[in-house]
Amino acid sequence: MNARTILGVLALVTLVPAAATAHHGWSSYDSSKPLTVTGVIKEAGYEHPHGHIALESPGKTWSVVLAPPSRMQSRGLAKEDLVVGATVTVEAYPRRDGEPEMRAERITLNGKTAELR
């Protein structure tokens, strides 16, 4: 094997596991404990693999994992809708380990609900 082939193989061996761990599974969320939380968006992201918001509710700030941008767009939730300062209601599942994070099933803002799953 030449040096270029060896370097290519090493790069793949290094990058593939990192990519696999970067995308988490949904088993870390408890679907038996649905939550409905209303709050104010403090931060928003509309990027791959999933969009996200920081949602400030009374007594807690949640990290909310949304759907991939293509799904949000096709279901009526545009990037421009996720505005810092907007009040939203999220129906979601909390993390099993107690971290203040949830996986959103749907989000309602400005009287419009987008199904995310």
pLDDT digits (tens, 9 = 90+) for 17-72: 444 444 457 799 999 999 999 999 999 999 999 999 999 999 999 999 999 999 99
Task: Tell me the two tokens of residue 79.
Answer: 């990037």
3-state SS assignment for residue 76: coil
Q: Please report, as a single letter, which amino acid is at residue 1.
A: M
Neighbours of 15 (CB within 10 A): 10
Instruction: For residue 61, list its beta bridge partners.
Output: 56
pTM of the model: 0.78
* pLDDT at 26 (0 to 100): 79
- Residue-level pLDDT at 4: 64
Lowest-confidence segment of 19-28, 92-101, 106-115 by average pLDDT: 19-28
Instruction: Return the closest-CA partner of residue 97 out of 42, 27, 24.
Output: 27
The predicted structure's pLDDT at residue 25: 72
